[in-house]
A and B are shown apart, each in its own frame.
Chain A
Amino acid sequence: MMAGVGGGNDFQWCFSQVKGAIDEDVAEADIISTVEFNYSGELLATGDKGGRVVIFQREQESKNRQVSRGEYNVYSTFQSHEPEFDYLKSLEIEEKINKIRWLPQQNAAHFLLSANDKTIKLWKISERDKRAEGYNLKDEDGRLRDPFRITTLRVPVLMPMDLMVEASPRRIFANAHTYHINSISVNSDYETYLSADDLRINLWHLEITDRSFNIVDIKPANMEELTEVITAAECHPHQCNVFVYSSSKGTIRLCDMRAAALCDRHSKFFEEPEDPSSRSFFSEIISSISDVKFSHSGRYMMTRDYLSVKVWDLNMENRPVETYQVHEYLRSKLCSLYENDCIFDKFECCWNGSDSAIMTGSYNNFFRMFDRNTRRDITLEASRENSKPRAMLKPRKVCTGGKRKKDEISVDSLDFNKKILHTAWHPKENVIAVAATNNLYIFQDKMN
Chain B
Amino acid sequence: MVAKGQKRKLHREDEGGGSAWESQLQSVLDISMDKFHRDQALVEPCLLRSVLINNTLRQVQSEVRAQVESLSAVKTKNQIGLLPEPSFPRSSPSAEHTPLFSLNNENMEDDFMAWTSEEDFSLSSAISAILKDLDTVIDASQGPCASQRAPLSSVENLTQYQSGLRTERMSDMASSIKTEAMCPGCPQDVALDKLLLDIDTSVFEPEVNLLQGFSVTADDLAKYLPSLSKSASASSSSSLVSHGQATWEIQEIEHVMDILMRTYPQS
Contact = CB atoms under 8 A, between A and B. Distances in A.
B163 interface: no
B259 interface: no
Contact of B52 (A91, A178, A180, A248): A248
B44 to A, nearest CB: 5
Contacts of B149: 89-91
Interface string A68-100: 000000000000000000000111100000000
Contacts of B63: 281
A313 interface: no
B20 interface: no
A229 B46 CA distance: 11
B62 to A, nearest CB: 11
Interface string A162-192: 0000000000000000111000000000000
Contacts of A89: 44, 148-149
Contacts of B142: 224
Given A178-B148, A222-B143, A335-B28, A227 B51 contact: yes
A294 B52 CA distance: 26
B191 interface: no
Contact of A284 (B46, B56, B144, B148): B56
Contacts of A344: 46, 48-49, 52
Nearest to A228: B51
B26 to A, nearest CB: 11
A224 B54 CA distance: 10
A119 to B, nearest CB: 16
A22 to B, nearest CB: 31
Contacts of B95: none
**Which residue, B51, B52, B142, has most C-beta atoms of chain A within 10 A?**
B52
Nearest to B96: A274
A392 to B, nearest CB: 39
Q: Indicate the member of B54, B148, B153 with the most A CB atoms within 10 Å.
A: B148
Given A178-B148, A223-B143, A224-B145, A231 B48 contact: yes
B27 interface: yes
Interface of A is mostly: loop
A229 B48 contact: yes
Nearest to A93: B44
Given A91-B149, A225-B143, A276 B31 contact: no
Interface string B42-63: 0110111101101110011001
A338 B31 contact: yes
Nearest to A222: B143
Contacts of A285: 52, 56
A279 B142 CA distance: 22
A91 B43 contact: yes
A339 interface: yes
A226 B100 contact: no
Interface in B1-51: 24, 27-28, 31, 43-44, 46-49, 51
B145 A288 contact: no
B47 A180 contact: yes
Nearest to B52: A285
A280 interface: yes
Contacts of B54: 227
A344 B51 CA distance: 12
B28 A281 contact: yes
B98 interface: yes
A223 B144 contact: yes
Contacts of B82: none
Nearest to B184: A224
Given A223-B146, A224-B143, A338-B31, A280 B48 contact: no
Contacts of A248: 48, 51-52
Interface string A253-289: 0000000000000000000000010011110110010
A285 B57 CA distance: 12
Interface in B103-151: 142-146, 148-149, 151
B51 to A, nearest CB: 5
A178 B47 CA distance: 11
A226 B53 CA distance: 12
Contacts of B151: 223
A198 interface: yes
Contact of B51 (A91, A180, A229, A280): A229
Interface string A200-236: 0000000000000000000000111111110100000
A179 B48 CA distance: 10
A288 B56 contact: no
A230 to B, nearest CB: 9
A226 B44 CA distance: 16
A248 B27 CA distance: 23
A226 B31 contact: no
A199 B48 CA distance: 10
A227 B47 CA distance: 10
Q: Which of A226, A228, A279, A281 has the most CB of B within 10 A?
A: A281
Contacts of A225: 143
22 contacts: A89-B44, A91-B43, A92-B43, A178-B148, A179-B47, A224-B145, A225-B143, A226-B143, A227-B143, A228-B51, A229-B47, A229-B51, A281-B56, A281-B59, A282-B56, A284-B55, A285-B52, A288-B52, A338-B28, A339-B31, A344-B48, A344-B52
Interface of B: 24, 27-28, 31, 43-44, 46-49, 51-52, 54-56, 59-60, 63, 98, 100, 142-146, 148-149, 151, 153
By Cβ-Cβ distance, the 4 closest A-B pairs, closest first, are A224-B143, A198-B47, A223-B144, A281-B28
Given A89-B148, A279-B100, 8 more contacts: A179-B47, A224-B143, A227-B143, A229-B47, A229-B48, A279-B98, A282-B56, A335-B31
